[in-house]
Amino acid sequence: MRDAKGSAMNGPSEELRTEVERRIDSLERELAEADQRLPDISAWVGEIEEDVVRLVTRVLEECRRDVESDGRLTPDRTALDRDGALGVYAAVQAWAALASYVVARVYAPRSPWHHGLATAATKVVAVLGSIAIVLAGPLRPTAAALGAQSSTIGTQFPSAPLTVSLTFAG
């Protein structure tokens, strides 16, 4: 939805989602191939980690760009209407889901990537924290517009990388 102040936050594009999925699939294939060739791939784990950090950082950059493009979310903003707030909430959830997808595919307990990658995850966790901070900005006015008592964005590495919630009175 567009308004007089600029374009609305849209969430990740299909192109970015496809790029992320392809890159994760490619990293998974590379790891499987290396696992068959090398007796000890611990040295290679750092390379994988850097690839994952680059991918999550790409998500962060696009997320930040999307948030900044929404004129309704500037400091001098007026209140969002209900439809606008629901759209922003959906976009916030979509960004959290994309970042979570990357992390869950690589680090979650049932991930096929069983090579101790979680021990090297501090950089990825830091990028997740940055995404949470970026998304907290649009979530606050969204919560207010929808009448929520509170809003939260949390990280719980690795099982629920980014969680977004609104709390309403019963």
| Count of domains forming the chain | 1
CA 118/CA 122 separation, integer angstroms: 8
Whether the per-residue pLDDT at 158 is higher than 80: the answer is: no
- Residues 144, 86, 143: CA angle, nearest 5 degrees: 20
What's the predicted TM-score (pTM) here? 0.84
Average of pLDDT values for 146-156? 92
pLDDT tens sequence across 24-70: 999 888 777 766 666 666 666 777 788 889 999 999 999 999 999 98
Containing structural domain, residue 68: 2-167
pLDDT tens sequence across 98-140: 999 998 888 766 555 555 555 557 888 899 999 999 999 999 9
Q: Please report the pLDDT score of residue 4 as a whole number.
A: 39
Provide CB contacts within 8 A for 31, sequence distance 6+.
41, 48, 113, 115
3-state percent helix, strand, coil for the chain, nearest multiple of 5: 65, 10, 25
Whether the per-residue pLDDT at 1 is higher than 50: the answer is: no
Q: Please report the pLDDT score of residue 167 as a whole number.
A: 96
